[in-house]
Structure 1
Amino acid sequence: MRRLIASTFTSLDGIMQAPGGPEEDPTGGFAFGGWMFPYADDSMDLSAAGFDGKDRELLLGRRTYQIFEAYWPYQPHDDPIAKTLNAAKKHVASRTLTTLHWNNATLLHGDVVSAVIALKAMPGPDLQMIGSGDLIQTLQAAALIDEYNVWTFPVVLGRGKRLFGDRIKPSALRLVRSQVSTSGAVMSTYVPHGDIQPGSFATLAPSERERTRRKTMADGMW
Structure 2
Amino acid sequence: MRRLIVSTFASLDGIMQAPGGPEEDPTGGFTLGGWMFNYWDEAMDLSASGFDGKDRELVLGRRTYEIFEAYWPYQPDDDPTARTLNAARKYVASRTLTTLHWHNSTLLSGDVVSAIIALKTQPGPDLQIIGSGNLIQTLQSAFLIDEYNVWTFPVVLGRGKRLFGETAKPLALRLVRSQVSTTGVVMSTYVPVGDIQPGLIASDEPSEQELARRKKMANEMR
Task: Give TM class, smaller chain.
Answer: over 0.9
Q: Report deviation, 1:57.
A: 0.4
Distance in 2 (CA, whole Å) between partners of 1:200 and 1:180 is: 31
Distance in 2 (CA, whole Å) between partners of 1:199 and 1:160 is: 32
Could you tell me which residue of structure 1 aligns to residue 115 of structure 2?
115
Q: Report deviation, 1:205.
A: 2.1
Distance in 1 (CA, whole Å) between partners of 2:221 and 2:209 is: 15
Q: Summarize the alignment of residues 12-23 of structure 1 with structure 2, pairs less than 5 Å apart.
A: 12-23=12-23
Runs of 4+ aligned structure 1 residues displaced above 6 Å come to: none
SS in 2 for 1:212: helix
SS in 1 for 2:220: coil
Partner deviation per Cα, 1:99-129 (whole Å, 9 max, x = no partner): 1111000100111000000000000110000
Distance in 2 (CA, whole Å) between partners of 1:76 and 1:149 is: 27
**TM-score in terms of structure 2 length:** 0.98
SS in 1 for 2:137: helix
Could you tell me which residue of structure 2 aligns to residue 85 of structure 1?
85
What is the identity, as a one-letter code, of the residue corresponding to 2:29? G
Instruction: Percent identity, please.
Output: 80
Q: Summarize the alignment of residues 1-222 of structure 1 with structure 2, pairs less than 5 Å apart.
A: 1-220=1-220
What is the identity, as a one-letter code, of the residue corresponding to 2:160? G
| Residue ranges of structure 1 left out of the alignment (5+ in a row) | none
SS in 2 for 1:140: helix
Q: Report deviation, 1:216.
A: 1.5
Q: Report deviation, 1:204.
A: 3.6
Q: Report deviation, 1:221.
A: 6.4
SS in 1 for 2:52: coil
Equivalent residues, number = 222
Distance in 2 (CA, whole Å) between partners of 1:92 and 1:221 is: 44
CA-based RMSD of the aligned residues comes to 1.1
Distance in 2 (CA, whole Å) between partners of 1:86 and 1:151 is: 23
Distance in 2 (CA, whole Å) between partners of 1:54 and 1:204 is: 51
**TM-score in terms of structure 1 length:** 0.98
